[in-house]
Amino acid sequence: DIQMTQSPSSLSASVGDRVTITCQASQDISNYLNWYQQKPGKAPKLLIYDASNLETGVPSRFSGSGSGTDFTFTISSLQPEDIATYYCQQYDNLLPYTFGQGTKLEIK
């Protein structure tokens, strides 16, 4: 299986801060990476696909970049409603699809 390692595991930031989460794959996955947001008690929501493409309706303060094994997810200006756990997910041709362990984002 391809292992996805996110860092940090948790993060505390202030409203308006720029927030960055990284995701590292155990092998080259090209740009086959998605990012999801999961609020407490809710289902995950797709934010970014193909490493850098914003899903329809997702605010432009969210962005993603990277390819190969190293990926970055950024919130340009943290809003209170962004409090959630964020997951990366790879979809390389080798099964299974796997997710990172998650990054819990809190407001400072």
> Using CB under 8 A, which of 3, 46, 65, 107 touches other proteins?
46
Give the whole-angstrom CA distance, residue 16 versus residue 3.
Answer: 32
Does 66 participate in binding other proteins (rule CB under 8 A)? no
> Using CB under 8 A, which of 20, 45, 52, 58 touches other proteins?
45
Q: How many residues bind other proteins (CB under 8 A)?
A: 24
Q: Which stretch binds other proteins (CB under 8 A): 12-20, 32-40, 64-72, 73-81?
A: 32-40
Judged by the rule CB under 8 A, the positions of this chain that interact with other proteins are: 1, 32, 34, 36, 42-46, 49-50, 53, 55, 87, 89, 91, 95-102
